[in-house]
Amino acid sequence: GHETRGSDELFSSVSNGPYIMSTTANGNDSKKFKGDIRGPGVPSRVLHIRKLPNDIAETEVISLGLPFGDVTNLLMLKAKNQAFLEMNSEEAAQNMVGYYSTVMPVIRNHPVYVQFSNHKELKTDNSPNQERAQAALRALSTSHVDTAVAAPSSVLRVVVENLVYPVSLDALCQIFSKFGTVLRIIVFTKNSQFQALLQYPDGASAQAAKLSLDGQNIYNGCCTLRISFSKLTSLNVKYNNEKSRDFTRPDLPSGDSQPTMEHPAMATAFTPGIISAAPYGGATHAFPPAFTIQPAVSFPYPGLTVPALPGGLASLSLPGATRLGFPPLPAGVCVLLISNLNPERVTPHCLFILFGVYGDVMRVKILFNKKENALVQMSDSTQAQLAMSHLSGQQLHGKSLRITLSKHTSVQLPREGHEDQGLTKDYSNSPLHRFKKPGSKNYSNIFPPSATLHLSNIPPSVVEDDLKMLFSSSGAVVKAFKFFQKDHKMALIQMGSVEEAIECLIEFHNHDLGENHHLRVSFSKSSI
């Protein structure tokens, strides 16, 4: 693997001197810059990015970081095909390194390497090169964008021009899920143009996708994306099939989904992986595997290994054999492998409650001989995908969760009489499943972990202080609390951090508040 290669490919002149950043008149920033010696990978919010293509643009490097958080600084060392990128938090940087360790980032056919830098922050000067980097940062970073003005809608309208090869709904999902969870998507043909409407949970994701993808080609020289904000604020999807999909409602019928042949893109809805080196079977040599999407999107599902394409390119490709049907993961993949758990504190119950926010957990197994690993079986692959995309990199019991797809198709229960100290639990008949009812409104209230929790099912006798006391009894800090005006059965409570909120959700979801009321806890999209 590339992790063990020595520091020969890094800076040639490495010394332990101080970190200097002064630029010579010709704008060559790398002369006096002291390089990173490959450390043990101690987390830092500064990332060192290597093996960049020669004509790399600032925006391409920034785009690698944007899906994970705001990028606060950038230093390009073009002469060495390297760059340093500073994220707004160490957590964002850890998520980025974790993601790219399972999904190799590719910029225009170049696999790029991302690792933590030894520098804790970037100090930059005002050379011409730096001016350009700063301008690119201002243009792309969400903190400088007044999102109310910039992102009028969380729904994008996408037109694909110059449609030489067909583009499917799944291909678009794959490309756009780099910037946020795609909730709903509809594809159609209008004025003989292939178009799509695509809804994110928030305007910031839509804004980031539009900034990065507008004007990009899906294939070399064709299938150009033209993206604008839609006047619609939400999409209403009735069927899950190759023309429309609502990822929050896996229970929707497929309707009469015979693809109509009015458009070449529809005719290919069921051919094997569309965006691959060869758009059509047998055409392996005709089309070079060249993708011009920046940042080149590998797979939005970390850990799903895509067979290497020619030139080792992990591109926009679906595995060749995948039929593009619903759901997006291979139908059987509903078991997740969770690693980097805290073996002293993890229990099947805590994983059941946490993963249960994103789907119905059927079984949990903590591995007997390696207790920092566990298998979690969800009830279907859409839920597995949701749990993986929302919980990867989150902190649980002081450790950052790593989640990949397991090769197991189900979690085996121990044989009769062979108890494994309660490390395997079957929850298939649990009364606590949130998504049992088809079309449950819980599907539309799925949000990433946040410091603010949504509480419901509060009995009339329970007052603000009772709930604050309860939540601080775990040792967590309660920062704010607010009952819903119209309905005192519900409230928002803001904890000191996302990690505290995660632990409180695990501890107090289904807590008995008396009067036959069990508290329901979920992550909120709003803050107080």
The hierarchical CATH code for the domain 447-523 is: 3.30.70.330
268-287 confidence digits (pLDDT tens):
332 222 233 223 322 222 22
Q: Output phi, psi for 353, to 5 deg.
A: -70, -45
pLDDT class for 141, splitting at 50, 70, 90? low
Within 10 Å of residue 381's Cβ, how many Cβ atoms? 22
- The amino acid present at 490, given as its one-letter code, is M
Lowest mean pLDDT among 224-233, 251-260, 370-379: 251-260
pLDDT class for 135, splitting at 50, 70, 90? confident
Instruction: Yes or no: say if 250 and 360 are a contact pair by the CB < 8 Å rule.
Output: no
Mean pLDDT (whole number) for 500-515: 95
d(CA 385, CA 120): 33
pLDDT class for 151, splitting at 50, 70, 90? low
pLDDT at position 224:
87
Give the H/E segment covering residue 520: strand 520-523
Lowest mean pLDDT among 184-193, 284-293, 494-503: 284-293
Mean pLDDT (whole number) for 180-199: 89
Q: Output phi, psi for 405, to 5 deg.
A: -80, 140
Mean pLDDT (whole number) for 473-500: 94
163-189 confidence digits (pLDDT tens):
777 788 988 988 898 888 888 999 998
62-114 confidence digits (pLDDT tens):
888 877 778 999 999 999 999 999 999 998 898 888 877 766 777 777 788 99
339-393 confidence digits (pLDDT tens):
999 999 999 999 999 999 999 999 999 998 899 999 999 998 878 888 988 898 8
Please state whether the peptide bond connecting residue 253 to the residue before it is cis, i.e. omega within 30 degrees of 0. no
Instruction: Yes or no: say if 74 and 85 are a contact pair by the CB < 8 Å rule.
Output: yes
CATH superfamily of 46-140: RRM (RNA recognition motif) domain (3.30.70.330)
Question: Which residues lie below 8 Å from residue 258, measured CB to CB, with a gap of 6+?
Answer: none
Q: What is the DSSP letter of 177?
A: G
415-453 confidence digits (pLDDT tens):
877 767 889 999 999 999 998 887 677 777 888 899 999
Q: Per 3-state DSSP, what percentage of the chain is helix, strand, and coil (rounded to 5)? A: 25, 20, 55
| 469, HSE (Cβ side, Cα atoms, 13 Å) | 6
DSSP E strands in 51-167: the ranges are: 71-77, 82-87, 106-107, 110-111, 113-116, 155-161
pLDDT at position 204:
83
Of 59, 58, 93, residue with least CA distance to 76: 58
Of 94, 88, 77, 86, residue with least CA distance to 34: 77
User: Which CATH code of 2.160.10.10, 3.30.70.330, 3.20.20.70, 3.40.50.920 fits the domain covering 155-246?
Assistant: 3.30.70.330
Domains of the chain: which residue ranges? 46-140, 155-246, 335-439, 447-523
Q: Model pTM?
A: 0.44
Is the pLDDT score of 528 beyond 70? yes
Q: In what order do the strands lie in the sheet with 82-87?
A: 71-77, 82-87, 46-50, 113-116
- Report the Cα 335 to chain-centroid distance in Å: 18
Instruction: Yes or no: say if 363 and 413 are a contact pair by the CB < 8 Å rule.
Output: yes
The hierarchical CATH code for the domain 335-439 is: 3.30.70.330
d(CA 331, CA 405): 12
| 382 token code pair | 């859409």
pLDDT at position 505:
98
Q: Do domains 335-439 and 447-523 have the same CATH topology?
A: yes
